[in-house]
Amino acid sequence: MSYEPARADFGLPVRIDLYSDTHTRPSRAMKEAMLEAEMGDEQGGSDPTVWELCDRTAALLGKEAAMFMPSGTMCNQVAIATHCRPGDEILAHEDAHIQSSEAGGPGAISGVMIRGLAGERGIFSAKTLLGAVRPVSRYSPPQRLVEVEQTANKGGGACWTVDELRAVADVAHAHGMKVHMDGARVLNAAVALRVAASDVTASCDTVWVDFTKGLGAPLGAVLAGPRDFIGEAWRWKQRLGGSMRQGGMNAAACIYALEHNIDRLADDHRNAAALAQGMAQIPGITVETPETNLVFFDTTGTGLTAAEFASRLRPLGVTVSVSEAYRGRACTHLDVDAGQIEEAVAIMRRVVGG
Ligand SMILES: *Cc1c(COP(=O)(O)O)cnc(C)c1O
């Protein structure tokens, strides 16, 4: 078995890329900001642009300190390794990215177990969490960490409200657990909920934000939390090979994204709503009403699997991703505009023969 990704068919251009918000390309203005970046040695602490990104992101998320990393996956793994010891248990939604999509990292790297909790749209209640709290005993694994995903990716891009987060964090803290937020799309949530990002993250001890999703940077994520936590997390970053050299060039792209690409996430949410409405009119397709920029749909009524639907779209220049046999995902971002959404809907209608 080879796990190397298949090479794209470069002769078959993608015109409307709804596969993922990770597919955005850096704009010319973002690349110009990268060219102008002051740089130093990131792992030695002498890159001023990386420090600026960390300070600005820590302030945005309302945390004391922050650390720049190559990816969101590494932020999750470093955070888990720093919070936990081997044998500990993490409580997370059963569809959480750390469970399904990080190659078993929590087990392989940190030796922890994840207990999956149920809940609609990727969100579990304080009551469900409380029901999973074990009495402390010599027999049970130490319950160390509660993990929440904002927005809940497989939950359809659903947002935890500030109140839902506070209720869950209160239960966690009352039982000696910390709360870690996988904030891959935390800024989508802040924009959709119309609250400050620091209010969304207030009840979480640690949080990271991805710059390669809707924010449109080519690389990077920032993990934030208490200063002593970030201080310890640095050792795990070093251990996993995540320390960088002239990181300022990438940090400059992320700073550009902070300055230009947050408020416009509302456009992506409007485009997602329009896409969902358009797709819902296609015979045989049912659509989950989006809260942010992810539109999940079911192809059962068309007689096509989600993979068949996706492969009929591909030669026509449209991509979507496949989540389950009959469940697919279309994602809006800064490289798709309202006109392309209309065009994509028309093409989808055509491929199902509607
Ligand atoms: C994309 C994503 C990640 C991983 O981020 P990368 O930067 O791609 O490593 C983690 N969690 C969620 C919810 C995501 O959507």
Cβ–ligand 1 distance for 205 under 6 Å, the answer: no
Q: pLDDT tens-digit profile of 181-239? A: 999 999 999 999 999 999 999 999 999 999 999 999 999 999 999 999 999 999 999 99
Task: Please classify residue 40 by burial: count the beta carbons closer than 10 Å to its beta carbon, then call 0-12 exposed, 13-18 middle and 19+ buried.
Answer: middle
**SS3 assignment, position 61:** helix
Kindly list the structural domains of the chain, giving each domain's residue range(s) and its CATH number in brackets, ordered by start: 28-260 (3.40.640.10), 264-351 (3.90.1150.10)
At residue 103, does pLDDT exceed 90? yes
**Residue 305, token pair as written in the block:** 């699997």
CA of 245 to the centre of ligand 1 (A): 23
CA of 42 to the centre of ligand 1 (A): 23
DSSP bridge partners of 327: 298, 324
Cβ–ligand 1 distance for 53 under 6 Å, the answer: no
Q: pLDDT tens-digit profile of 151-181? A: 999 999 999 999 999 999 999 999 999 999 9
Check: CB of residue 328 under 8 Å from CB of residue 306.
yes
Cβ–ligand 1 distance for 257 under 6 Å, the answer: no
Cβ–ligand 1 distance for 210 under 6 Å, the answer: yes
Residue type, 8: A
Average model confidence (pLDDT) across the chain? 97
For residue 149, give the ligand 1 atom closest to its CA: 13
pTM strictly above 0.75 = yes
Task: Please classify residue 315 by burial: count the beta carbons closer than 10 Å to its beta carbon, then call 0-12 exposed, 13-18 middle and 19+ buried.
Answer: exposed
332: closest CA among 148, 170, 116, 185?
Answer: 185
- Distance separating alpha carbons of residues 57 and 64, to the nearest angstrom: 10
- Distance separating alpha carbons of residues 192 and 259, to the nearest angstrom: 18
Q: What is the CA radius of gyration of the chain?
A: 20
At residue 1, does pLDDT exceed 90? no
Q: Provide the H-helix boundaries in the chain.
A: 28-35, 48-61, 72-83, 97-100, 105-110, 126-132, 162-174, 186-193, 197-201, 227-239, 248-260, 265-280, 306-313, 338-351
For residue 152, give the ligand 1 atom closest to its CA: 13
pLDDT confidence bin for 17, thresholds 50/70/90: very high
**Residue 41, token pair as written in the block:** 């040695």
Q: pLDDT tens-digit profile of 29-83? A: 999 999 999 999 999 999 999 999 999 999 999 999 999 999 999 999 999 999 9
- Distance separating alpha carbons of residues 74 and 237, to the nearest angstrom: 8
Chain-centroid distance of CA 249 in Å reads 22
Q: Whose CA is nearest to atom 14 of ligand 1?
A: 184
Q: pLDDT tens-digit profile of 118-151? A: 999 999 999 999 999 999 999 999 999 999 999 9
